[in-house]
């Protein structure tokens, strides 16, 4: 699973999910990319599941880049615990994604296979996504 090695603060506030992505919103490494259309949190498990499904679909016939990383710790209190007594311990890590963020990029000669792989990966994610080619946006 993806997780930071060290963090300055163990717990962070939730924040707001609004606005558009100003950086990381173009296809810069590969030929085709998977772009987020809505905002949300992607857990490290979801990011990894989408990556595995892509590489299995392509049978490792292309290069894949993950453009997001889960930096935000999410806390959770134990089950059947009474209210109060502070915030719970960190449970898992998420990447906060805004509309326009490029999630994955692929470089390959077979564009049909690349689009199929990105479609399979999009089914693993809880947000709406769009497949874009290099030069289509920006």
Beta strand spans in 20-121 (E): 32-36, 40-43, 63-66, 72-75, 90-97, 102-107
pLDDT digits (tens, 9 = 90+) for 11-68: 999 999 999 999 999 999 999 999 999 999 999 999 999 999 999 999 988 999 999 9
Residue with tokens 């498990």: 45
User: pLDDT (tens digit, 9 = 90+) per residue, 70-98?
Assistant: 999 999 999 999 999 999 999 999 999 99
- Tally of CB atoms within 10 A around 9: 7
Supply the pLDDT for residue 79: 95
DSSP state of 104: E
- Could you read off the pLDDT of 101-131 as tens digits, one per residue? 999 999 999 999 999 999 999 999 999 999 9
59 is a domain residue: yes
Q: For the chain, what is the domain count?
A: 1
Residue 57 domain-assigned? yes
**Six token digits for residue 103:** 């999630």
Q: Residue 44: inside a domain, yes or no?
A: yes
How much is the pLDDT for 131? 96
Domain limits for position 122: 32-78+87-133
The pLDDT value recorded for residue 61 is 84
Please say whether the beta carbons of 126 and 40 come within 8 A: yes
pLDDT value of residue 75: 97
Output the pLDDT for position 27: 95
pTM, whole model, 2 decimals? 0.92
Number of Cβ within 10 Å of residue 126's Cβ equals: 11
C-alpha to C-alpha distance for 51 and 2, rounded to whole angstroms: 12
User: Which CATH number goes with the domain that contains 46?
Assistant: 3.90.1170.10
Q: How many CA atoms lie within 13 A of 17 on its CB side?
A: 17
């Amino acid at each position: 699973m993806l997780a930071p090695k060290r963090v300055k603060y163990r717990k962070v506030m939730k924040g707001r999910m609004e606005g558009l992505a100003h950086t990381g919103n173009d296809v810069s490494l590969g030929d085709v990319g998977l772009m987020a259309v809505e905002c949300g949190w992607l857990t490290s498990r979801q990011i990894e599941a989408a990556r595995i499904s892509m590489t299995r679909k392509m049978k490792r016939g292309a290069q894949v880049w993950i453009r997001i990383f889960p930096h935000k710790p999410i806390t959770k209190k134990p089950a059947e615990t009474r209210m109060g007594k502070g915030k719970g311990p960190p449970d898992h890590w998420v990447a906060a994604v805004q509309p326009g963020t490029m999630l994955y990029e692929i470089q390959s000669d077979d564009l049909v296979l690349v689009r199929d792989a990105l479609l399979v990966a999009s089914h693993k994610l809880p947000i709406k996504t769009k497949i874009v080619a290099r030069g289509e946006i920006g």
